[in-house]
């Protein structure tokens, strides 16, 4: 393999992960407390440096396993943060990712250079290390943008849920109320929800429960659709 001579110093390549969870009422973000180095004793996003021969996406999945013990979660690339002063230790470029999962659905544990790990309310986050507040804000804007034109967020829901539960999630993400009739009409028209069979109801007022049909959703993605709320 050819060896290249670089004229200019190269930045260090890293990843950071914004992990959202939903408890049925509000959104949470998973944070780790740094126990050494820059911003020791500060809360931060799970992150780490990219290894030689490793791409950013693979690194993000590895970081989640090493620092939070999370595996097989929905994760997507967000944005690359490259301001030279974002890390006081050196010139560190970070490709941020965001993940979605149900709070308490996965057990999390601190690892690496973290002394603690906690789910923290999105509305009441502490002062964060580096530029992680900016990363979380961009991740939230991405989530708002996607949820308004593409049915996502099922990773945040329990296996079975009511249409009211699903609308509550969308309203929490968008931070605005949605018309009940219009929302239900659009989501049911997409035919990506299967009604729970043999559901036991204590009263006739108990809502129907649904589950997400991944196969139908992937087929709809290939065909194209409009889900603007």
Mark whether 39 and 139 lie in a shared domain. Answer: yes
> What's the whole-model pTM score?
0.83
Mark whether 141 and 174 lie in a shared domain. Answer: no
Kindly report, residue by residue over 27-72, the tens digit of the pLDDT: 999 999 888 778 888 999 999 999 988 999 999 999 888 888 777 7
Judge whether 88 lies within some domain: yes
CA distance 194 to 187: 11
Mark whether 200 and 126 lie in a shared domain. Answer: no
CATH number at 189 reads 1.10.10.10
Judge whether 75 lies within some domain: yes
Mark whether 124 and 47 lie in a shared domain. Answer: yes
Judge whether 21 lies within some domain: yes
Mark whether 110 and 183 lie in a shared domain. Answer: no
Are the C-beta atoms of residues 58 and 94 closer than 8 Å to each other? no
What CA dihedral angle connects 61, 62, 68 and 73, to 10 degrees?
20
185's tokens: 């009409």
Mean pLDDT of 198-208: 79
CA distance 184 to 192: 12
Mark whether 122 and 21 lie in a shared domain. Answer: yes
Domain of residue 179, residue span: 160-223
Mark whether 79 and 164 lie in a shared domain. Answer: no
Mean pLDDT of 115-142: 92
Judge whether 90 lies within some domain: yes
Mark whether 176 and 132 lie in a shared domain. Answer: no
Q: How many domains does the chain have?
A: 2
Helix (H) or strand (E) holding 76: strand 74-81
Helices (H) and strands (E) in the chain, counts: 5, 9
CATH number at 64 reads 3.90.79.10
Q: What average pLDDT does the structure give for the chain?
A: 84
69 compared with 153, residue with greater pLDDT: 69
Judge whether 55 lies within some domain: yes
């Amino acid at each position: 393999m050819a060896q290249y001579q670089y004229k200019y110093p190269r930045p260090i390549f890293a990843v950071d992960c914004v992990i959202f969870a939903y408890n049925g009422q509000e959104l949470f973000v998973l944070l780790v407390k740094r126990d050494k180095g820059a911003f020791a004793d500060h809360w931060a996003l799970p992150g780490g440096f990219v290894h030689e021969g490793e791409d950013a996406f693979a690194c993000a999945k590895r970081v989640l396993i090493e620092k939070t013990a999370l595996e097989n979660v929905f994760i997507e690339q967000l944005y690359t943060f490259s301001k030279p002063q974002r890390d006081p230790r050196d010139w560190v470029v970070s490709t941020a990712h965001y993940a979605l999962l149900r709070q308490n659905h996965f057990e999390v544990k601190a690892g690496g250079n973290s002394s603690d790990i906690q789910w923290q309310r999105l509305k009441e986050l502490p002062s964060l290390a580096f530029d992680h507040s900016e990363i979380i804000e961009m991740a939230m804007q991405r989530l708002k943008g996607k949820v308004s034109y593409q049915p996502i967020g099922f990773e945040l829901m329990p296996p079975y849920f009511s249409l009211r539960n699903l609308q509550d999630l969308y309203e929490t993400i968008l931070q605005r109320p949605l018309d009940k009739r219009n929302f239900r009409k659009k989501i049911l028209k997409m035919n990506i929800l299967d009604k729970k069979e043999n559901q036991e109801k204590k009263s006739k007022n108990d809502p129907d429960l649904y589950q997400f049909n991944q196969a139908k959703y992937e087929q709809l993605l290939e065909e194209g659709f409009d889900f603007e709320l």
